[in-house]
Structures are given as structure tokens and as C-alpha cells.
Amino acid sequence: MSTLSLVFLVFWVGKLLSRSCEFERITRLELIILPLYSIMMFLGTIRWSEGEIFEIIVLMLVASIIGGIQSLGVEIKSGSKEKESNVTIIMVKKNIQYIIGWVMIFVLTTLIRVHYNLSSIDIKGEIISEVMKEMIPIIRFSSKDNWEIWLISAFSSLNFTYLLQRKDIRIRKLLMGKQSIK
């Protein structure tokens, strides 16, 4: 691993870790659009066969559990950026449980990639790719993952969103479009 690659990797992983311990604005893109996109990609990439039904059920359960773990330590607050604004901004701090879930997803998806590729895998490249998808969610739209990865992404995100909206009515209102956001 070159020094520049290592610096790049440490920078982005550090940014992900620090960002999870700070309040950040949540959006419908992160909570609704990306999970729905992941479901569409899952449906578009799977080759339905009898043998995959069990794998689908297991991955759905595991991903949902991971999404639950990620939601455990989330702190939620609201406010507005401007004193005179009547637009409410919902902010969350994901905390360490989110990172633990992210690591679990990374390990699970890496194991799946190794299983299907049966060749060496560039762990550094995989970490950078996953960190970039987490930091800049729009990158996920250009991802060419297999159906298992899309399924894990969809169900972990959907359960995370479901549990957040159960935790706080403001998030439910945001998701239903009943609350103004900037």
C-alpha cells in the first residue's frame, strides 16, 4: 500500500468516524430514496432460484438486525439555521453503534464478494469504496454491486429508518413530507 493511499484511507475513515459523533442534517435521500433504490437494484440483479430463497431470508434478517444496532445510539435534535426561519431541520448524531453496524456490513459484504469472486480482494480499495458511499450517498447510485450487497444495503437502511421514525415523531413527519426542511 502506497503512503498516499494509506493517508487517503486514514483521512476518509477518520472523517467517517468523526462525522458519526457529530450532529448532521438528515434527508429523505438518505432515509427513503437510497433504501428504495437498493431494493430496485436488488430486484433487478437477482436471478430467482429455489436455492437463493434461504439466502435472501437470512440476509434480510441479518441486515435488519444490523440496521437495528445502528439505530441504538442515535441522538436526534431539531432546530433552524436562521433565527427568523420557520423551517425545521432535523439533525442526528449516529454515534459508535452506527460505526459498529457499518463495520459489520463491511465485513459481511466483503465475505460475500470473496465467496463469489474466489480471488484476492483489495481490502484497502473496498474500505475506500464503502467509506465514500457512506460519506457521499449519491455515489451509491453508480455502484455495480451484486444482489446480496443491494439486499443488505436495503434492509439495514430500511430498518434503521423505521426505528428512527418510531423513536421520534419529527422524523416520521419529515418522511411523510409534513414537516418543512431546508
Q: Partners of 79 in the beta sheet? A: 89
DSSP 16: H
Quote the CA–CA distance of 132 and 130 in Å, as a whole number: 5
pTM of structure? 0.79
Asked if residues 16 and 99 have their Cβ atoms less than 8 Å apart, the reply is yes
77 C-beta neighbours (distance < 10 Å), count: 12
Q: What is the per-residue pLDDT across 49-105, written as a single tens digit (0 to 9) for each?
A: 777 888 899 999 999 999 999 999 999 998 766 555 666 788 999 999 999 998 899
- What is the rounded radius of gyration, in angstroms, for the C-alpha atoms of the chain? 17
What angle separates helix 50-71 from helix 147-167, to the nearest 10 degrees? 40
